[in-house]
C-alpha cells in the first residue's frame, strides 16, 4: 500500500483549490453581470418586465442550488447536448448568484432617496442614464459590503458542484479520502482552506460596513 504524507494531501487539495477559486471568480464576475441586468429589469418602469425579473429571482432563491445544478447538468443533456461538469457548474452558479446579487443591489438602489430620481428625471435623463450616472454610483458605495459578504456564499456554494463530478476542493477531498482512508484529516484540511478563503472576505466586508457607516466620503 502506498502511504501518503500530509504534504501529499495538502498539495493535492491546493491544486484542486485553484478550481474552487477559478469557479468562484467566474461566478462572481458573470453572476454580477447577469445580476446587474436583472437589477435593471427588476427596477424598470414596466410592470411586465418587473414581473419577469421577480419570477426569475423567486425561482432561483426558492429552490436548492443542488436541484438547479442537477436540472442544468441532466436537463440540458436531455436535448442531446453533452454538458461538461465545469460548464454546468459555472452556468448554474452564475444563474443562482445573479438572483441574489440582483436582490442585494435592488435594496441598495431603493435606499437612494426618491429626490435623486426626481432631480434626474426633471433634467430629462432616461432610466438608463439615471441608473448609470446618478443612482448606481451612489448605490455602489452601500452595495460593496453586502456584495463582498455574498461572495463568501459563492465560494461555499462551489462545494455543491462536486456532486456532478467537478473536481474542486470538496471533490478533491473526497477523492483523496478514498485513496488515503484519512477522512478527518483530509476534510479538516479542506475545511481550513475554505475558511482561509472566506474569513478574510467576511472580515473585509465587516470592515467596509463600519467604514461606510462611520463617515461620508466622496
Partner 1 sequence: MPLITIDNVKKSYGANQVLKGIRMDVEPGEVIAIIGKSGSGKSTLLRCINGLESIDEGAISVAGSHLGKTELELRNLRLKVGMIFQQFNLFPHLSVSRNVMISPMIVKGASEVTARALAMKNLARVGLAEKFDSFPDQLSGGQQQRVAIARALSMEPQALLCDEVTSALDPELVNEVLSVVRSLADEGMTLIMVTHEMRFAREVCDRVVFMHQGKVHEIGAPEEIFANPSTPELKQFLGMTTH
* 144 lines the binding site for partner 1 (CB under 8 A): no
80 φ/ψ sector (left φ>0, alpha ψ -120 to 50, else beta): left
> In whole angstroms, how close is the CB of 218 to partner 1 at the nearest point?
6
* 153 lines the binding site for partner 1 (CB under 8 A): no
Piece of 5-13, 70-78, 119-127, 200-208 that binds partner 1 (CB under 8 A): 119-127
CB of 50 or CB of 116, closer to partner 1: 116
Question: Of 145, 147, 146, 116, which is closest to residue 131 (Cα–Cα)?
Answer: 116
> In whole angstroms, how close is the CB of 24 to partner 1 at the nearest point?
30
How far apart, in whole angstroms, are the C-alpha atoms of residue 172 and residue 167?
A: 6
188 to 217, contacts with partner 1 by CB under 8 A? Answer: 216
Sole binder of partner 1 in the list 51, 61, 63, 129 (CB under 8 A): 129
How far apart, in whole angstroms, are the C-alpha atoms of residue 44 and residue 196?
A: 39
> In whole angstroms, how close is the CB of 115 to partner 1 at the nearest point?
4
Sole binder of partner 1 in the list 27, 120, 170, 205 (CB under 8 A): 120
95 to 114, contacts with partner 1 by CB under 8 A? Answer: 113
49 grid coordinates: 418586465
* 218 lines the binding site for partner 1 (CB under 8 A): yes
* 124 lines the binding site for partner 1 (CB under 8 A): yes
Sole binder of partner 1 in the list 14, 15, 29, 123 (CB under 8 A): 123
How far apart, in whole angstroms, are the C-alpha atoms of residue 213 and residue 216?
A: 8
Sole binder of partner 1 in the list 64, 75, 84, 137 (CB under 8 A): 137
CB 19 within 8 A of CB 12: no
CB of 44 or CB of 185, closer to partner 1: 44
Q: DSSP alpha helices (H): ranges in the chain?
A: 6-42, 47-62, 65-77, 85-110, 114-122, 127-129, 136-157, 169-180, 183-214
Sole binder of partner 1 in the list 21, 50, 66, 116 (CB under 8 A): 116
69 grid coordinates: 445544478
* 78 lines the binding site for partner 1 (CB under 8 A): no
DSSP 78-93: TTT----HHHHHHHHH
According to DSSP, residue 45 is labeled S
Residues near partner 1, by CB under 8 A: 113, 115-116, 118-127, 129, 133-134, 137-138, 141, 216, 218
Amino acid at each position: 500500500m502506498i502511504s501518503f504524507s500530509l504534504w501529499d494531501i495538502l498539495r493535492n487539495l491546493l491544486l484542486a483549490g485553484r478550481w474552487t477559486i477559478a469557479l468562484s471568480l467566474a461566478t462572481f464576475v458573470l453572476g454580477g453581470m447577469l445580476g446587474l441586468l436583472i437589477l435593471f429589469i427588476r427596477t424598470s418602469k414596466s410592470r411586465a418586465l418587473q414581473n419577469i425579473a421577480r419570477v426569475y429571482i423567486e425561482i432561483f432563491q426558492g429552490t436548492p442550488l443542488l436541484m438547479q445544478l442537477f436540472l442544468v447538468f441532466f436537463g440540458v443533456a436531455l436535448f442531446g447536448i453533452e454538458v461538461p461538469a465545469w460548464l454546468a457548474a459555472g452556468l448554474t452558479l452564475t444563474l443562482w448568484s445573479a438572483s441574489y446579487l440582483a436582490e442585494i443591489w435592488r435594496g441598495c438602489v431603493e435606499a437612494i432617496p426618491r429626490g435623486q430620481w426626481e432631480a434626474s428625471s426633471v433634467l430629462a435623463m432616461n432610466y438608463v442614464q439615471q441608473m448609470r450616472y446618478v443612482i448606481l454610483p451612489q448605490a455602489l458605495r452601500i452595495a460593496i459590503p453586502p456584495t463582498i459578504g455574498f461572495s463568501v456564499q459563492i465560494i461555499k456554494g462551489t462545494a455543491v458542484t462536486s456532486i456532478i463530478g467537478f473536481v474542486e476542493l470538496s471533490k478533491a477531498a473526497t477523492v483523496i479520502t478514498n485513496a488515503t482512508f484519512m477522512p478527518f484529516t483530509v476534510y479538516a484540511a479542506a475545511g481550513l482552506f475554505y475558511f482561509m478563503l472566506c474569513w478574510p472576505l467576511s472580515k473585509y466586508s465587516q470592515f467596509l460596513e463600519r467604514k461606510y457607516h462611520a463617515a461620508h466620503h466622496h
